[in-house]
Amino acid sequence: MTHKKGYPLWEVFIRSNRGIDHKHAGSLRAADAEMALQNARDLYTRRSEGVSIWVVPSNQIVASDPDDKETLFDPAEDKVYRHPTFYSLPDELEHM
């Protein structure tokens, strides 16, 4: 995907105040990592959404092929025993 000025695309991940993981927030254009972080701050944290930002060049992300969806994901559907719902969890165990 080309842009009129050639700024590459970046993916933005934000960790919210109470969150323990960074979640995908969206994407943006920036010339380099420093600009990407500043832009991410301006675009995706202006309503107090986050306390930490990751930016990743979009072309560094390797994605699964949508055509592989059935092959990759359907076989898991009838294997309910893989969910840990058949065990009782100790109360001390958080973030499950």
Partner 1 sequence: MSTPLAPTKNDLYAYTLRQADNSMVLCQRLCQWAARGPELEEDIGLTNIGLDLIGQARSLYQYSASLFDRPVDENDLAFLRDPHEWSNLLLVEQPNGDFADTIARQYCYDAWHLPFLEQLTASNDTTLAAIAAKSVKEARYHVRHSSMWVKRLGDGTEVSHRRMQDAITAVWPFIAEMFIADELDQRMLEIDVGVDLRALQSAWESQVSALLANATLSKPIDVKAIVGGRQGQHTEHLDDLLLEMQALPRSMPNHQW
* Per-position x/- string for 10-39, each x denoting binding to partner 1 as judged by CB under 8 A, each - no binding: ------------------xxxx--xx--xx
For residues 33 and 52, what is the distance between their CA atoms, to the nearest angstrom?
A: 15
* Per-position x/- string for 56-75, each x denoting binding to partner 1 as judged by CB under 8 A, each - no binding: --------------------
- Check: CB of residue 10 under 8 Å from CB of residue 36: yes
Binding residue count for partner 1, defined by CB under 8 A: 14
CA geometry: angle at 60 spanning 22 and 35, to 5°? 70
Give the binding site for partner 1 (CB under 8 A).
Answer: 5, 7, 28-31, 34-35, 38-39, 41-43, 46
